[in-house]
Chain A
């Protein structure tokens, strides 16, 4: 089987494609196409979660049959702190594009450096989110305290999970680069995911935190 696979690869290697094209019907690699399709579908997930929070944010504890604290979770927001974590995530998008550019230049050392920097900033953001959640719970606002809290924790929690997955992918890419060659498109595809996570936070930060 391995010989057959090698033979197939040899045959592919003999095929020449014009610049900027792939051996697919779209001319785009399947990985990149799949990532964009996934990101497009993820818009629906976050759209649903944001809408749910918007519907419930001003009506904690007022829905018949759903008892809960009348305190809105937004009254506990710490805007200066969240602004700082937003800045950290924004900075991680810069380090991510620097990683992609380093890969394009063929500079593996800088690629690793920027990928680790991006993962570190992502980790800092997650730490900030954990701290924020802990503060809310300490103030008596848990996941089931009322519907606005449930909607908030679900939305930001899902985003946090996306960041965590991104950090794992970034560190995995660094680890893979020590074992085998990493092609530029792999780093770019990881970057697409990371920037999407940043874009979603741009929306969450404005709509959930800043708009009263």
Chain B
């Protein structure tokens, strides 16, 4: 059993890795509490309509997207050390991320996701939702 752990500074294969860069434990806790606060704000939007007795969707949805992006960057830059690591790693990750965003924005646009073009498959308004009856539930379970 090993009671000590190599910090790797003397390793011929990985010298100097895990050096002095990156946040301290205290800074990590600070980032964590910021993430928790953002999450609480995000979750609270679920009850905004009831609390304010109004349609808050036009405000809540853009806010949720902004908060999601902030959380994403906090985790990627600090927890994943992208802010402190070599630029090539940032380029690799952002290349993958941006490619995915580009490809799927194009795909969603091709499916007319952003507007109602009247296509039966994708753009007709969703059907009126009715609560499942016992027969439906039983049938769905049996079928699925």
Contacts and interface: CB of A to CB of B under 8 A. Distances in A.
A195 B7 contact: no
Contact of A40 (B3, B67, B81, B95): B95
Nearest to B111: A55
Contacts of A32: 89
Nearest to B127: A70
A70 B103 contact: no
A88 to B, nearest CB: 11
Interface string B77-101: 0011100001011001101110111
Contacts of A145: 140, 143-144
Given A44-B99, A141-B140, A202 B68 contact: yes
The majority secondary structure among interface residues of chain A is: helix
Nearest to A74: B129
A86 B39 contact: yes
A97 B71 CA distance: 16
Interface in B1-30: 1-9, 11-19, 22-25, 28-29
Nearest to B131: A71
Interface in A20-52: 20-23, 26-29, 32-33, 36-37, 39-44, 46-48, 50-51
Contact of A69 (B6, B67, B136): B136
Contacts, number: 246
8 contacts: A14-B12, A16-B15, A23-B13, A37-B96, A43-B96, A60-B126, A80-B43, A210-B42
Given A41-B96, A47-B101, A83-B43, 7 more contacts: A47-B100, A139-B137, A177-B2, A191-B80, A206-B42, A210-B42, A211-B61
Interface of B: 1-9, 11-19, 22-25, 28-29, 32, 35-36, 39, 42-43, 45-46, 57, 61, 64-65, 67-68, 71-72, 75-76, 79-81, 86, 88-89, 92-93, 95-97, 99-101, 103-104, 107-108, 111, 113, 120-122, 124, 126-127, 129-132, 136-138, 140-141, 143-144
Interface of A: 9, 12-23, 26-29, 32-33, 36-37, 39-44, 46-48, 50-51, 54-55, 58-64, 68-72, 75, 79-80, 83, 86-87, 90-91, 93-94, 96-98, 100-101, 103-108, 111, 137, 139-145, 149, 177-185, 188, 191-192, 195-196, 198-199, 202-203, 205-207, 210-212
